[in-house]
C-alpha cells in the first residue's frame, strides 16, 4: 500500500466529572490525514489546511508528525511517510491535537502492513499529544481511536471502550476564544476536598453505568463536576451564563469540553437541541464572543480508513 486516507473524530475529554479518565468521540468533526509512503526514512508534513493560523509543518513540533515518527520506529519500517493534514475541528477543547496524532498513527500503521492494533497505537499517539498539552492523559486519544465513550487508566496506560448511546444528542458550542490545554492544567488545585472527590467519582461511575444500560437521561444528569469545572470556569468568559442557559432550555447536563473553551450539553429530545444550542450561543454573545454551534451524536466507530 502506497497511499491511505484516514479520519479521526473530535472528542470530549473528561465528560464532566471524569477528569483524565473518561472521553467521548463525537460525529462530524475531526481531522483527516492523507499519507503517502516514501523511500526515505523520514516524516514530511507537506500541507496543513482547514485551520485559522499556522500549525507547524516540522514533524517534531506537530502531533501528527510526532505520532508518525513513533509508529514508524515501532514497526521498524524500511521507509518513511509524507503527510497532508486537513484540520476539521474548530476552536479548542475538542481534542484537536489528539485527532491529528490518531489519524497520523493509524495512517502510518496502514501503510506498513497494519501490524498494530488500535490498543497498540495508544502509547505512540498519546506521547505526541502529551508533548503539546503539558500532561499525560488518554481521554481524547482513546476516544478518537476507539470511538464512543472510553475509560482510560493513565498509570497503566490503557484504554477500555464502553460503546456509545445512539439516542444521545450532543450540543457543542465553541466560542471564538482559544484556551490552551497547557494553561488550563497549570491552574488545577493541588489539594481538593474529599467530598468533592467522592461526588465526582459517583457521577463518573453513573456515566459508565449509563453507557452500559444505554440510558441517555442517566448519562446527561451525571455530567456534574464539582472538582475541576469550578476552577476552569474562570478561564472561559461567560461559562456560568452559558451553562445556565443550556439547563434552562432543558439540557440534561452541561459542562466544559476537555480543558475548554468549548462547552457541551446533552439532551434526548431532538426538538430541544437547536434551542439549547441557540441559548448557549446567545449567552456567549452577551460576553462579546461569537460562537459556533454543532449538534451531533456520539461517534461509535472511532478512527478509520476512508
**Gap between the Cα atoms of 87 and 52, Å rounded:** 10
30 and 145, same domain (yes or no): yes
Query: Phi first, then psi: what are they for 231, rounded to 5°?
Result: -80, -50
- Any idea what DSSP says for residue 235? G
Cite the DSSP H helix spans in the chain: 63-75, 96-111, 118-133, 139-146, 181-186, 194-213, 216-221, 229-232, 239-248, 270-285
Given a contact cutoff of 8 angstroms between Cβ atoms, the answer to whether 58 and 1 are in contact is no
- Do 158 and 184 reside in the same domain of the chain? no
Cβ neighbors of 209 (< 8 A, separation 6 or more) are 215, 218
Instruction: Please report how the helices 96-111 and 139-146 are oriented relative to each other, as an axis angle in degrees rounded to 10.
Output: 50
pLDDT of residue 52: 62
Residues 149 and 251 in one domain: no
For helices 96-111 and 118-133, angle between their N-to-C axes, nearest 10 degrees: 140
**What residue ranges of the chain have pLDDT lower than 50?**
none
d(CA 93, CA 263): 8
Q: How far apart are CA 97 and CA 223, in angstroms?
A: 24
Asked if residue 180 and residue 145 are part of one domain, the reply reads no
Phi and psi angles of residue 225, each rounded to the nearest 5 degrees, phi first: -120, 110
Task: Assess whether 211 and 239 both reside in one domain.
Answer: yes
CATH number at residue 280: 3.30.70.890
CA dist 195 and 183 (Å) reads 26
Torsion angle (degrees, nearest 10) of CA 141, 142, 148, 150: -130
In the prediction, which pLDDT does 242 show?
A: 98
pTM of the model: 0.94
Residues 275 and 186 in one domain: yes
Q: What is the pLDDT of residue 98?
A: 96
Query: Are residues 141 and 224 located together in one domain of the fold?
Result: no
The number of folded domains in the chain is 2
- 42 secondary structure, DSSP code: S
**Helix (H), strand (E) counts: the chain:** 10, 11
The reported pLDDT for the residue numbered 180 is: 80
**pLDDT at residue 181, as a whole number:** 81
Answer yes or no: do 85 and 17 share one domain: yes
Q: Are residues 214 and 260 in the same domain?
A: yes
**CA separation for the pair 102, 303 (Å, rounded):** 7
Q: Can you tell me whether residue 215 is helix, strand or coil?
A: coil
Phi-psi region of 152 (alpha: psi -120 to 50; beta: other; left: phi over 0): beta
Q: Calculate the average pLDDT of the chain.
A: 95
Q: How do the residues of the chain divide into helix, strand and coil, expressed in percent and rounded to 5?
A: 40, 25, 35
- Which CATH number covers residue 127? 3.30.230.10
Same domain flag for 120 and 233:
no
Q: Which residues pair with 44 in a beta bridge?
A: 82
In the three-class reduction of DSSP (H, G, I as helix; E, B as strand; rest coil), residue 244 is classed as helix
Question: Is the backbone peptide bond immediately before 3 cis, with ω within 30 degrees of 0?
Answer: no
Per the structure, the complete domain to which residue 293 belongs is given by 169-297
Amino acid at each position: 500500500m502506497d497511499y491511505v486516507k484516514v479520519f479521526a473524530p473530535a472528542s470530549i475529554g473528561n465528560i464532566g466529572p471524569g477528569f483524565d479518565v473518561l472521553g467521548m468521540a463525537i460525529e462530524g468533526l475531526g481531522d483527516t490525514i492523507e499519507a503517502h509512503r516514501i523511500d526515505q526514512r523520514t516524516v514530511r508534513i507537506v500541507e496543513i489546511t482547514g485551520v485559522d493560523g499556522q500549525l507547524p509543518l516540522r514533524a517534531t513540533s506537530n502531533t501528527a508528525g510526532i505520532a508518525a515518527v513513533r509508529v514508524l520506529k515501532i514497526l521498524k519500517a524500511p521507509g518513511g511517510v509524507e503527510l497532508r493534514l486537513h484540520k476539521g475541528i474548530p476552536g479548542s477543547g475538542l481534542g484537536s491535537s489528539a485527532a491529528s496524532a490518531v489519524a497520523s498513527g493509524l495512517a502510518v500503521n496502514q501503510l506498513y502492513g497494519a501490524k498494530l492494533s488500535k490498543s497498540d497505537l495508544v502509547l505512540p499517539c498519546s506521547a505526541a499529544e502529551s508533548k503539546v498539552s503539558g500532561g499525560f492523559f488518554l481521554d481524547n486519544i482513546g476516544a478518537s481511536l476507539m470511538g464512543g465513550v472510553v475509560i482510560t487508566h493513565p498509570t497503566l496506560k490503557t484504554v477500555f471502550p464502553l460503546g456509545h448511546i445512539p439516542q444521545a444528542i450532543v450540543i457543542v458550542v465553541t466560542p471564538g476564544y482559544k484556551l490552551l490545554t497547557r494553561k488550563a492544567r497549570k491552574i488545577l488545585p493541588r489539594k481538593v476536598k474529599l467530598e468533592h472527590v467522592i461526588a465526582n467519582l459517583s457521577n463518573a461511575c453513573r456515566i459508565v453505568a449509563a453507557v452500559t444500560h444505554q440510558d441517555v437521561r442517566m448519562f446527561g444528569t451525571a455530567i456534574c463536576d464539582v472538582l475541576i469545572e469550578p476552577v476552569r470556569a474562570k478561564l472561559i468568559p461567560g461559562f456560568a451564563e452559558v451553562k445556565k442557559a443550556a439547563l434552562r432550555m432543558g439540557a440534561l447536563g452541561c459542562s466544559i469540553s476537555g480543558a475548554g473553551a468549548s462547552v457541551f450539553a446533552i439532551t434526548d429530545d431532538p426538538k430541544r437541541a437547536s434551542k439549547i444550542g441557540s441559548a448557549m450561543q446567545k449567552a456567549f454573545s452577551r460576553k462579546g464572543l461569537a460562537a459556533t454551534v454543532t449538534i451531533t451524536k456520539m461517534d461509535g466507530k472511532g478512527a478509520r480508513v476512508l
